[in-house]
Amino acid sequence: MPLRWFHRPISAIVLLAAMSCWSCAFAGEPPNAATVALHKLLDSEWDYQLREFPERATSLGDHRYDDKLTDRSAAAIKARREHHRSRLASIRGIDRAKLEGEDRLSWDILEFTADLDVRGDELLLSAPGAEGMPFSVDDSPLSVNPMSGPQFNLPQLVRATRFANEADYHHYLARLAAMPKSLDDLRAILEAGRRAGWMPPRQALTRLASQYAPLATDDLTHHPLYAPFQKMPADLAPATQSELQRSGEEVLHSKVIPALTSFRDYLANVWVPAGTESLGAAKLPHGEAYYAWALQRYTTTRMTAHEIHELGLREVARLDGEMRAVMKEAGFTGTVAEFRDFLRTDKRFQFATADEELAAFRDIAKRVDPQLPSLFVELPRVPYGIRPMAPEEGNNAPHYIAGALDGTRAGYFEANTNNLAAWPKWTMDALFLHEAVPGHHLQIARGQEMPGLPKLRRAYGNSGFSEGWGLYSEGLGKELGLYSDPYSRFGRLTLEAHRACRLVVDTGMHAFGWTRQQSIDYLIEHAQLERGFAEAEVDRYITWPGQATAYKVGEQDILANRARAMAALGAKFDIRRFHNAVIDHGGLPLTVLDRVIDEWIETERKRPTE
């Protein structure tokens, strides 16, 4: 599952950071002009991002902007495009050759992201009438779909917001009051996309409008945006609580719910019917260039659609064979499809209650946590929790919610307790490893705590690295005492096959003319998905070109780096040190990670044998 937006004792890897020019001042060495310019740019970009995107600031635990929402007006969009060009010029004006250590990696990351943003702007603007479209493809018409948009982002924002005192509630009330204009601005973006022909396919949007039902209702009993007023801090005076509750009810009834209802009706009656008949991103204005850009953005590699498609075919064939082998190990004599149906229908593999599912995940956590030192030199300090996914998220996949950057809020693995049948017991081990530890939580929390990195680096992530690490982590289950029976091993293989199928299906639809039904059938046959889930997954790929390819591409890159390191180091290879070498620089584009591991290998060659 894509991350829902985004512990360190000093290790040997961190010491490398401390030795970089980021810390020259502490070493008594005057930083050179390139270093000074880079640090100034990193600091200013960090402040800019928090100020411009208040929701991101809230999710990271910075509550200075909790009374605001991102400005998506035409003027703001134009200003951000100008900022993108200015940032790219600034980073390229700094001489990378004069930087060292982590500073050089910071230059690489900033140049990579700045270049992508500028090229993304140019692709959007290349369509006639697209001037009103956004500063980022993340907020383009393609970003409003059954997998993302206000229907999910607003409730998640509430869960990340601090409600510790009266001032926090007043900030939240101001943010609620800003929602109608924010939705109007988003509608203007969608209309600009409609005029420019920048539209997702209609058949992938059929569920979209209905997802707004929990937000568009006048009944506040279970309204996600009213939840903070139903459980308030005990030290708030009763009269203050009552007044805040009345204010919340008033702004929701008079402003927010009417705006959400109007936006839902616009989607249902205007925007969704205007969706395209064609599926592929290549059919969009300058679509082939856009899809190539999207693949680079999400995988952070230079792989072409053809290369990704061929990788997927090879991996699917391998995993088909491994699933058949595990099925035979379980003593099942039917077909793989029949084994899948048996696992789905046998009551042994189903949870009876949400509490039972949560207890089972928490039991896995208790078994895995003590084993982590066998695979890592240093671990994050920030804890993680396991909690149920919000009811309004329906049957979305389990996912991870990152903690606050300053460590004041833990990370959470959110399990899907809304549809117990969709997530049977034999999928649990792999799901936990991917979303919690050693997957998303361990990697993201570790990056957030690195003291030698600027905040912009500590908060940076990309799908290729983060989702690649999550999938790679699923493969560490045996070492952590999981996958003890053939059923859980089959579950792990089906999840991996699902990611391999994504390489084939995403590129198939967006570059090679595959149909929606062809893609659904492929997922059912090779990833063992239930039909309804396969349909939802294909609709996700249709409306989010390229993103789904990041998981398997990232995992394969990490595995390739590990194999290269093992071959080069022989007996000196230490899996614990390798894992920290991968994650101890925060998130990295995969092309940058490859260089980091090359340098780490050379350092390890010279390290005295202990």
**pLDDT of res. 405:** 92
In this prediction, the residues of the chain whose per-residue pLDDT falls under 70 are 1-29, 127-142, 610
* Dist. CA 338–CA 430, nearest whole Å: 22
The type of residue at 4 is R
What torsion do the CA atoms of 168, 172, 178, 182 make, to the nearest 10 degrees?
110
**Are the beta carbons of 589 and 462 closer than 8 angstroms?**
yes
Which H or E run includes 401? strand 399-401
* Dist. CA 152–CA 2, nearest whole Å: 13
**pLDDT of res. 522:** 98
* Dist. CA 424–CA 416, nearest whole Å: 11
Q: How far are the Cα atoms of 253, 344, 395, 443 from residue 399, in angstroms, in the given order?
A: 31, 21, 12, 14
Q: Which two tokens stand for residue 241?
A: 């609580």
**Are the beta carbons of 326 and 490 closer than 8 angstroms?**
yes
**pLDDT of res. 14:** 31
- Model confidence over 26-56: pLDDT tens digits? 345 678 999 999 999 999 999 999 999 999 9
Q: Which residues pair with 399 in a beta bridge?
A: 414
**pLDDT of res. 393:** 79
Length, in residues, of the chain: 610
**Are the beta carbons of 432 and 368 closer than 8 angstroms?**
yes
Residue from 548, 583, 577, 595 nearest 461 by CA? 583
**pLDDT of res. 145:** 87
* Dist. CA 610–CA 601, nearest whole Å: 16
pTM above 0.85, yes or no: yes
**Are the beta carbons of 458 and 447 closer than 8 angstroms?**
yes
**pLDDT of res. 104:** 97
Residue with tokens 């929990």: 214
